[in-house]
Amino acid sequence: MPLVTTKEMFEKAYKGGYAIGAFNVNNMEIVQGITEAAAELNAPLILQVSKGARSYANHTYLMKLVEAAVAETGLPIALHLDHGDSFDICKSCIDGGFTSVMIDASSKPFEENIEITRKVVEYAHDHGVVVEAELGTLAGIEDEVNVSAEDSSYTRPEDVQEFVEKTGCDSLAIAIGTSHGAYKFKPGTDPKLRFDILEDVEKRLPGFPIVLHGSSSVPQEFVKLINENGGNMPGAIGVPEDQLRKAASMAVCKINIDSDLRLAMTATIRQYFNEHPEHFDPRQYLKPARAAIKSMVAHKLVDVLGCDGKA
C-alpha cells in the first residue's frame, strides 16, 4: 500500500468517535517504535515531520524511513508536514511525496491567514494532497518560535465557518487550552480544556475534522525517571488523558503527540546510562528507548485515541 492521505481516516474517525494519532518522527528508532505499536494493534497512523526534523534528519531520509515503515507494516500511513510556516516549505513537501501538509499561519491576521492557506490548498489539491490549517494560537515552543501564555489565544468559534469556506482546507487545528512542550499547566492548578469552544466549533462545522496540537500528557513516570537520573524537569505537566479521550469522541480526528515520545526516549536513556556507565554502543541504549516509545504509543492508541483495530 502506498502512503495515504488523511481523508478516509478522518471520515471513519469522525463517525466512529475516535481520533488518529499524529506522532512526530526524527529518526529511525522513533519511526520503528511508533509503527511497531500500530502494526500490533492494527491502527491507522499519521507520521509528521516538522521543519526542525527536516533540517535535522533531511527530507529524503525521513521519507525513506516512513516508506520502509509502510512496506514493513502494510498500514495506512499518512506522511504530514507539521507546522509549515510558508507556501514554499509546503510546496517542497508536496513535491517531495508528503500526502498531507499543515500551513500554520495562525500568528498572522485573519485575512492574511486565509490568503496564505488558500494558496497552499490550491497547490496541494492540484497534487492530491490534503491541508490542515490553524485558527487561534497555542502557547509553547514550535521550532524556533516561542509563544508565551499571554500571547496565546483561544480559537473564536464565530470565525471557523468563514475560514473553512474561504480557504477550502481539509482539517482545522483549534486552540482550546493545549500547548506545545512539557510545561502546559501551572503546578497546583486544575488543567481543563475548553470543551465549550470545541462544542461550538463542532456545531458550526458539522462533520468537519478538528485537530488538537500540544496533546502530550507528560507521563509522570518519565518525568520522575528523568529527575532521578540526573535530569531537571520540575513542574512538567501535560493534558489529562481523559480529556483527550473525550475530545477524540467528539469532532477531534487528529491528536498531535511529540513531547511524550521525547520524554520516553530521554528517560529510558538516562536510566540506562546510570545503570550501565561502562556502555558506549548506541544500540544498547537505543533499543530500550525504542521499546519505551512502542509501549507508550500502544497505550495512546488504545486508551486515549481509541483507534486500535481501525486500520
Closer residue to ligand G3H (CB): 52 or 97: 52
Question: Would you say 100 or 259 has its CB closer to ligand 13P?
Answer: 259
Contacting residue, 5, 6, 24, 106, with ligand G3H by CB under 6 A: 24
Residue 184 binds ligand G3H (CB under 6 A): no
Cα(103)–Cα(113) distance, integer angstroms: 9
In whole angstroms, give the CA distance from residue 183 to residue 146. 13
Of 170 and 258, the one with the shorter C-beta distance to ligand G3H is 258
Q: If we measure between CA atoms, which residue out of 101, 179, 91, 183 comes closest to residue 142?
A: 179
Cβ proximity to Zn ion: between 108 and 287 the closer is 108
CA atoms within 13 A on the CB side of 234: 1
Backbone dihedral region of 3: left (phi > 0), alpha (psi from -120 to 50 degrees) or beta?
beta
For residue 310, give the 3-state DSSP assignment. Answer: coil
Compute CA distances 223 → 29, 182, 233, 261, whole Å.
Answer: 21, 9, 7, 12
SS3 146: strand
Consecutive H or E run containing 46? strand 45-50
Q: Select from 52, 97, 231, 240 the one that contacts ligand G3H (CB under 6 A).
A: 52
Q: Is 51 in the site for Zn ion (CB under 5 A)?
A: no
d(CA 49, CA 22): 10
| Residue 270 binding Zn ion, by CB under 5 A | no
Scanning residues 189 to 228, which ones bind ligand 13P (CB under 6 A)? 213-216
Nearer to Zn ion, 216 or 256 (CB): 256
Q: Does 6 bind ligand 13P (CB under 6 A)?
A: no
Binds Zn ion by CB under 5 A, chosen from 54, 80, 213, 254: 213
Q: Any catalytic annotation for residue 126?
A: no
- 129 to 188, contacts with ligand 13P by CB under 6 A? 180-181
Q: How far is the CB of 281 from ligand 13P (least distance, A)?
A: 29
Among 5, 24, 106, 171, binds ligand 13P (CB under 6 A): 24
Residues touching ligand G3H, count (CB under 6 A): 10
- Candidate list 82, 170, 258, 308, residue with the active-site label: 82
Q: How far is the CB of 184 from ligand 13P (least distance, A)?
A: 7
Q: Which of 50, 113, 117, 268 binds ligand G3H (CB under 6 A)?
A: 50
DSSP-derived secondary structure for 75-109: --EEEEEEEE-SHHHHHHHHHTT-SEEEE--TTS-
Question: What does 216 bind: ligand G3H, Zn ion, ligand 13P, none (CB cut-off 5 to 8 Å by kind)?
Answer: ligand 13P
User: What is the rounded distance in angstroms from the CA atom of residue 165 to the CA atom of residue 179?
Assistant: 26
Is the Cβ of residue 1 or residue 149 nearer to ligand G3H in the bound state? 149
Contacts of ligand G3H in 253-272 (CB under 6 A): 258
Give the span between the Cα atoms of 261 and 34, in whole angstroms: 9
Give the nearest distance from C-beta 131 to ligand G3H in angstroms.
17
Q: Are 160 and 237 in contact (CB under 8 A)?
A: no
d(CA 43, CA 23): 13
Residues marked as catalytic = 82
Binding site for ligand G3H (CB under 6 A): 24, 50, 52-53, 82-83, 142-143, 180, 258
Binding site for Zn ion (CB under 5 A): 213, 256
